[in-house]
Structure 1
Amino acid sequence: MTLIDDQYYITKIVEGDTKVFAVLVDRYKDLVFTLALRMLKNKEEAEEVSQDTFIKVFKSLNKFKGDSKFSSWIYRITYNNCLDALKKYKQEYQWVTIDEYTERQVVTLDNAFDALVEKEQQQAIEDCLQRLPNEDSFLLTLYYFEEQSLDEISKIMGLTANNVKVKLFRSRKKLTSILKERLEPEIIEHYERKQTNG
């Protein structure tokens, strides 16, 4: 692996070489900001939470035991900071009505989602994720974009793996309803036909 392991920098920082913290910030800043934006739906608040997250990470580095991945630990701090910010700003959740979607339709969504990523229709996905309730948006970002496992997500969000599975399924159903509404129906239809014929 060409990237030097996070633990190398953590050890150096804990030993007093605080300048190398910039490497860790650089490595995770975009993702922390994206996750905060998914939860808070507001650029300024997301920037504020991102800064707070890195201050907390820096102050707590000596408490990092390495029993989970460093990235998971950072995402957990981000998530908790977002929850605090939501309480502070008392933001209203944006609810999406869910029709009853079957497992097959969720599989259809996954295929359509892959096609959209391949087609680089990132903006369309971003718009849809922005319309989801905060926690759903955060969860799907970890799952789809960060490819975190259910176990890792359960550590980050402080839930059981089973609970994450249920939440993930519900979040994907909500996303399906938004995608069906917003995106080119022919993409979804194409995959629905493929599922039916396949």
Structure 2
Amino acid sequence: MEQFNDLPEVELIDRILAGDTRLYEQIVRRFNPYLYKIGRSYNYNHEDTQDLMQDSFVDAFKALNSFEGRAQFKSWIMRIMLNNCYRRREKWSFKNETNMDIDDASQPMFNHSETDSHTLLQQRELRRVIEEALSRLPLEYRMVFSLREINGLDVAETAQLLDISESNVKVRLNRAKDKLRREIEKSYTPSDLFEFNLIYCNNVVDKVFAAIGLLSR
């Protein structure tokens, strides 16, 4: 499978549509981090985010033949995740946007190799900084910050995903930075935020392929 790591998404999709569905694992692994960061930025906890990722990858697989290549595949699959996050939020009548459920008991959110007291203190401090900073951000600012600063999308891609103008992206990002980035970047870089641990990757791949297997029966 490693020999396919560098294949462009368009070529992967062509091969998958031609019947080599095992290559969809490459899609799942390649875009796991992006979808995870979107789910967490929407204030879903780790387990709910993984459920949304699974749904999004399955939705993308079912609609793969409709991908025309006009936009980047990354933008296409991230929009699916955003739509699923929005629909679940509406379904749950998720009104308390500032209640950040970030302290999962099941698995560590950040991957630190050290386990000394200093590292544990840093983890607690990072959670506190994120909780306090994000709790003051409305969703529209939080999502722009997530897509631009955490997922690394450019202004045009962010505007397209959120259906807003490029000037609005710039305005919202500046406002988000005023309240959030100054506090977080005192000790941490944006890439530290919502970093998707590789220990979760295999689990997502297995769940997606189990669901795809059911679809093909």
TM-score (norm 2): 0.63
1:36–1:82 contact (8 Å) kept in structure 2: yes
Q: Secondary structure at the match of 1:167?
A: helix
Match status 1:93 vs 2:92:
no
Whichever residue aligns with residue 74 of structure 2, its letter is S
Whichever residue aligns with residue 70 of structure 1, its letter is F
1:129 to partner: Cα distance: 6.1
- Percent identical residues: 27
1:8 to partner: Cα distance: 1.0
Give the aligned partner of residue 142 of structure 1: 147
Higher relative contact order (CA 8 A, sep 6+): 2
Give a deviation string over 1:34-84, Cα, whole Å, max 9, x none. Answer: 211110332222111111110111111111111111111111111111111
Q: Which aligned runs of 4 or more in structure 1 are off by greater than 6 angstroms?
A: none
Match status 1:160 vs 2:171:
no
- The 1-side partners of 2:19 and 2:57 are apart by 17
- 1:28 corresponds, among 27, 31, 52, to 31
Give the aligned partner of residue 102 of structure 1: none
Q: Secondary structure at the match of 1:40?
A: coil
Match status 1:15 vs 2:18:
yes
Where is the helix percentage greater, Structure 1 or Structure 2? 1
- 2:79 corresponds, among 57, 65, 76, to 76
- The 2-side partners of 1:26 and 1:48 are apart by 15
- 1:45 corresponds, among 44, 48, 71, to 48
Q: Secondary structure at the match of 2:63?
A: helix
1:18 to partner: Cα distance: 1.2
- 2:180 corresponds, among 170, 175, 181, to 175
For residues 107-118 of structure 1, the aligned pairs below 5 Å read none
- The 2-side partners of 1:62 and 1:128 are apart by 43
Whichever residue aligns with residue 73 of structure 2, its letter is F
The gaps in structure 1 that reach 5 residues or longer are: 96-119, 185-198
RMSD between aligned alpha carbons?
A: 2.9
2:159–2:166 contact (8 Å) kept in structure 1: yes
Q: Which moved more, 1:138-147 or 1:70-79?
A: 138-147
- The 2-side partners of 1:144 and 1:128 are apart by 18
Match status 1:61 vs 2:64:
yes
